[in-house]
């Protein structure tokens, strides 16, 4: 099995801790290692170092190489600009195809938390076997524990005729991030799973699906594959990225393909997609505060407070998120943490690049 780790995000909902030059995957949130280092470590015993590839941005390539020293430098692929997951995955598949087009590939994000690594590896082995034997598209769905509005959802077919094996189901539909009422309904229905963003398939299979559903992207990828001067391949990639449109793998491929299966999993997964998730996962004091750094609170409950250097104090503060970095102070209600992304987009429109 080969592995493609997608590491080009900026982690907008994790701002101001996550920045363009130091995004979420480089942060040490709950351990001494960064999220991307933990992602690579989880693949041990499943994927050889030389078969692990990372796709990141041009500006993050150097730091990625500094953190991940045990894979070949040429396996760290850089994108000139973001063009969403379908392009990212297609480019990675082209780089891997030269080795073995019929090898199974696992695609996974670089910035997720997984508590039960052994269970995670067992699920990937199950997915690899399924993808190899049926030549189908496989995704991993997480059994939901609460109505989360920050995740996409996967609905699976409960018909026993469509069930392949224990925990393996035919996918019925993909759903975008819902509002709270819809998320609650998904949870109550019993046939929806969180979309983990982890996919498993043969390299030849995903390229075939791109050819069917995204022919313009496929044409550009084939130009890359046939480009004779491999030393200057990135000049060709820059041209390709200037010509194609952004599209996600879910919307561009998974929603259109017919042979898509989901494996229902429970291995302590969390994409740490917002500050409220950090609060939910964090170690709480007797007043349910998660204090990170130099923090002193009095008569305060249910807060997430982070201060990198200066002493941050508070009295009678409840259900708030307060994040203090060297140059930015973020203050917002805990239930509004998903809106941090909109704040970052506003700063970008105002050309306040020094804070991004």
The string of DSSP codes covering 41-94 is: HHTTTTS-GGGEEEEEEGGGHHHHHHH--SS-GGGEEEESS--HHHHHHHHHHH
The neighbouring-strand residues paired with 313 are: 296
State the CB neighbour count (10 A cutoff) for residue 277.
21
Q: Which two tokens stand for residue 92?
A: 């990675």
- Fold observed for domain 2-270: Spore Coat Polysaccharide Biosynthesis Protein SpsA; Chain A (3.90.550)
Do the beta carbons of residue 20 and residue 59 sit within 8 Å?
Answer: yes
What residues are paired with 297 via a beta bridge? 314
Give the CA distances from residue 68 to residues 20, 109, 272, in Å, rounded to whole numbers and listed in that order: 19, 15, 21
CA angle 154, 139, 40 (to 5 degrees): 125
pLDDT given for residue 209 in this prediction:
97
CB atoms within 10 A of CB 104: 22
Close Cβ partners of 130 (under 8 Å, ≥ 6 residues apart)? 136, 138, 164, 165, 168, 200, 261, 263
The pTM score is 0.90
Sequence-distant (≥ 6) Cβ neighbours of residue 313 within 8 angstroms:
295, 296, 297, 298
- In this prediction, residue 277 carries a pLDDT of 86
> pLDDT value at position 162?
61
How far is it, in rounded angstroms, from Cα 235 to Cα 108?
26
Helices (H), the chain: 35-42, 61-67, 84-97, 117-134, 180-189, 203-213, 215-226, 233-243, 249, 275-281, 340-349
Q: Domain segments of the chain: what residues?
A: 2-270, 275-355
Mean pLDDT by 10 residues, the chain (356 residues): 91 84 86 92 95 94 93 94 94 94 96 94 97 97 91 88 77 92 94 96 97 96 81 87 94 94 94 86 94 94 92 95 92 91 92 89
pLDDT of residue 229: 65
User: Residue 86's pLDDT is what?
Assistant: 96
Are 315 and 300 contacting, i.e. CB atoms less than 8 angstroms apart?
Answer: yes
Task: Kindly calculate the radius of gyration of the chain based on its CA atoms and give it in whole angstroms.
Answer: 21
Contacts of 61 (CB under 8 A, 6+ apart): 76, 78
């Amino acid at each position: 099995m080969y592995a493609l780790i997608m590491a080009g995000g900026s982690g907008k909902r994790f701002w101001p801790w996550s920045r363009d030059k130091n995004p979420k995957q480089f942060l040490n949130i709950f351990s001494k290692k960064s999220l991307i280092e933990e992602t690579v470590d989880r693949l041990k015993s499943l994927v050889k170092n030389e078969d692990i590839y990372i796709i990141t941005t041009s500006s993050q390539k150097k730091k990625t190489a500094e953190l991940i020293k045990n894979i070949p430098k040429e396996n760290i692929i850089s994108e000139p600009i973001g063009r969403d997951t379908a392009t990212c995955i297609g480019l990675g598949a082209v780089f891997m195809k030269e080795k073995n087009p019929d090898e199974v590939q696992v695609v996974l994000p670089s910035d997720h938390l997984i508590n039960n690594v052994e269970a995670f590896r067992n699920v990937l082995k199950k997915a690899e076997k399924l993808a190899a034997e049926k030549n189908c598209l496989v995704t991993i769905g997480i059994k939901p524990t609460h109505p989360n509005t920050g995740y996409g959802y996967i609905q699976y077919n409960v018909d026993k005729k469509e069930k392949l094996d224990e925990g393996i189901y035919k996918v019925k539909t993909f759903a975008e991030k819902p509002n709270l009422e819809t998320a609650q309904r998904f949870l109550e229905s019993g046939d929806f799973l969180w979309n983990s963003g982890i996919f498993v398939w043969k390299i030849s299979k995903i390229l075939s699906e791109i050819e069917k559903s995204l022919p313009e992207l496929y044409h550009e990828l084939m130009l890359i594959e046939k480009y004779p001067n491999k030393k200057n391949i990135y000049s060709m990639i820059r041209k390709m990225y200037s010509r194609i449109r952004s599209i996600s793998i879910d919307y561009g491929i998974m929603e259109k393909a017919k042979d898509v299966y989901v494996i229902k999993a429970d291995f302590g997964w969390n994409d740490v997609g917002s500050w409220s998730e950090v609060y939910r996962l964090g170690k709480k004091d007797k007043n349910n505060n998660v204090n990170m750094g130099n923090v002193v609170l009095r008569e305060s409950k249910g807060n997430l407070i982070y201060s990198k250097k200066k002493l941050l104090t508070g009295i009678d503060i409840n259900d708030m998120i307060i994040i203090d970095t060297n140059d930015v102070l973020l203050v917002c209600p805990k239930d509004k943490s998903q809106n941090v992304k909109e704040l970052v987009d506003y700063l970008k429109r105002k050309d306040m690049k020094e804070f991004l």
